[in-house]
């Protein structure tokens, strides 16, 4: 591999300026990037809350992560599984829903690993949404979601038979993970996330949406309308769907999250977390997404191609008024391989992109995904292709 180099400010300006020209006040982009010996965050644009008060754009600015939240849910599940359901082969991966929840019997046989690898057979949210009550309560609580699953006639497809991007799967897993320890009453999902994942990593400004101080949160925009319109933050399915899309974070904490997943953070406090990365970033199901992408626990694993000689590990997130993409070069040794006990070299390059808008597209792909891929390729000393069709495509919200 060529020497990894940081992107220049001029280059990053060239990527975001076309989307900031003639756009409404209050639109911004954040790009974080990491190499073997460097890391930094780039900012461009400006933000304001829904009453027009300017909000500082910087390392401590709040952004909704949307479906990038799924990477947090998978990590906490692995942490609790290793502690309470451990073993050479993590037992919790093959356990089924019925071991922990009493809901509709049609869901009993779904393995927990499939809830986190988009292969559970539950409905696909990037198709026709059929996993919500006809008259959805507001707010939609975890108890309400489990009650719905106890009465719905919804019948899932066979697990491990096809790729289906299911927010419901991650939301169910967020309710199961705290039940891994039957000998004592574990705290709720949010408390466990703070205690077992965020605090050890020093991510003090990452939390769930219902804890948000709205005066500090920027107004978002949607480009699903023409012209673009301002939209409120949040998601009607929260907090029931916190495990699928409820995390709010800052660029500074996202840089930490990127570096952790690249294997670059390994202190005494985080060594047990780092040990789980090969499990999270290895294929977790024989199912492929669109006959091309392998599926880890929450992560998409892109194969090598002309533009990505060593592939990529990535996850996107989009709900109304926000869009995030995180991506890095693969580095882990799958746990199933004989040399999996060795210490692999951490990922050599990674990037994340955040913005306070959704449905802003370039070549039929989310702009944040295209920017992230351009930056990752540039960091490897290559020239991004004019044709972006080979870039990882985004499939869910």
Q: Which residue has the tokens 């009465």?
A: 151
Taking the CA atoms of 155, 237, 208 and 362 in sequence, report the sign of the dihedral they define: positive
* Lowest-pLDDT range of 112-116, 126-130, 189-193, 248-252: 126-130
Determine if residue 241 is left, alpha or beta; phi over 0 gives left, psi from -120 to 50 gives alpha, anything else beta: alpha
150, 334 contact by CB (below 8 A)? no
Give the pLDDT of residue 145: 97
End-to-end CA distance of the chain: 33
Altogether, the residues listed in the chain come to a count of 397
Q: What is the pLDDT of residue 392?
A: 65
Lowest mean pLDDT among 13-17, 230-234, 386-390: 386-390
- pLDDT score, position 334: 73
Q: Edge-to-edge, what's the strand order for the sheet holding 229-231?
A: 229-231, 220-222, 357-358
CB 30 within 8 A of CB 63: yes
Consecutive H or E run containing 351: strand 350-355
Domains and their CATH numbers in the chain: 9-68+190-390 (3.40.710.10), 71-184 (no CATH)
pLDDT of residue 32: 98
Report CA dihedral (274, 376, 397, 313) to the nearest 10 degrees.
Answer: -40
Span 212-256, pLDDT tens digits? 888 889 999 999 988 899 998 999 999 999 999 999 999 999 999
Asked whether residue 88 carries a pLDDT value surpassing 80, the answer given is no
Query: What's the Cα-to-Cα distance from 50 to each of 156, 213, 214, 233, 324, rounded to whole Å?
Result: 40, 13, 9, 10, 21
pLDDT above 60 for 376: yes
Q: Which helix (H) or strand (E) holds 180?
A: none
The strand pairing partners of 42, in sequence order, are: 31
Bigger pLDDT: 337 vs 32: 32
Residue 395 has pLDDT above 70, yes or no: no
Mean pLDDT of the region 172-191:
92
Mean pLDDT, range 350-364, rounded to an integer: 92
Residue 261, preceding peptide bond in cis (omega within 30° of 0):
no
Helical segments of the chain, H only:
9-20, 69-84, 112-115, 142-151, 167-176, 189-193, 199-201, 242-245, 251-261, 271-274, 277-280, 367-379
342 pLDDT more than 80: no
Q: How confident is the model at residue 336 (pLDDT cuts 50, 70, 90)?
A: low
Nearest to 177 by CA among 55, 103, 75: 75
Phi, psi of 38 (to 5 degrees): -150, 155
pLDDT above 90 covers a percentage of the chain that reads 78
Q: How confident is the model at residue 10 (pLDDT cuts 50, 70, 90)?
A: very high
Give this prediction's pTM: 0.96
Query: In the predicted model, what is the mean pLDDT of the chain?
Result: 92
């Amino acid at each position: 591999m060529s020497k990894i180099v940081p992107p220049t400010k001029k280059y990053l300006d060239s990527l975001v300026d076309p989307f900031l020209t003639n756009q409404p006040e209050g639109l911004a982009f954040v790009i974080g990037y990491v190499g073997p010996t460097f890391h930094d965050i780039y900012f461009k644009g400006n933000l304001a809350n829904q009453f027009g008060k300017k909000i500082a754009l910087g390392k401590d600015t709040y952004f909704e992560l949307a479906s990038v939240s799924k990477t947090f849910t998978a990590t906490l599940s692995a942490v609790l599984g290793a502690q309470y359901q451990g073993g050479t082969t993590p037992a919790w991966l093959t356990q089924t829903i019925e071991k922990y929840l009493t809901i509709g019997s049609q869901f009993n046989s779904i393995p927990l690993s499939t809830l986190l690898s988009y292969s559970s057979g539950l409905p696909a949210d990037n198709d026709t949404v059929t996993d919500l009550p006809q008259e959805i309560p507001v707010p939609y609580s975890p108890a309400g979601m489990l009650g719905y699953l106890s009465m719905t006639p919804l019948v899932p497809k066979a697990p491990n038979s096809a790729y289906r991007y299911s927010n419901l799967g991650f939301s169910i897993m967020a309710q199961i993970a705290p039940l891994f320890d039957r000998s004592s009453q574990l705290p709720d999902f949010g408390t466990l996330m703070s205690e077992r994942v965020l605090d050890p990593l020093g991510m003090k400004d990452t939390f769930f949406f219902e804890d948000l101080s709205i005066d500090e949160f920027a107004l978002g925009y949607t480009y699903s309308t023409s012209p673009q319109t301002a939209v409120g933050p949040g998601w009607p399915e929260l907090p029931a769907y916190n495990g699928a899309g409820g995390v709010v974070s800052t660029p500074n904490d996202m840089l930490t999250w990127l570096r952790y997943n690249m294997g670059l953070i390994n202190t005494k406090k985080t060594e047990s977390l780092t040990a789980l990365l090969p499990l999270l970033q290895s294929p977790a199901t024989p199912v492929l997404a669109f006959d091309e992408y392998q599926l880890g626990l929450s992560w998409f694993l892109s194969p090598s191609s002309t533009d990505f000689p060593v592939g990529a590990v990535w996850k996107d997130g989009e709900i109304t008024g926000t869009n995030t993409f995180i991506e890095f070069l693969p580095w882990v040794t799958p746990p199933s391989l004989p040399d999996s006990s060795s210490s692999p070299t951490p990922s050599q390059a990674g990037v994340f992109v955040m913005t306070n808008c959704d449905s802003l597209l370039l070549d039929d792909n989310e702009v944040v995904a295209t920017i992230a891929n351009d930056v990752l390729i540039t960091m490897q000393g290559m020239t991004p292709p004019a044709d972006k069709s080979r870039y990882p495509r985004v499939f869910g919200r």
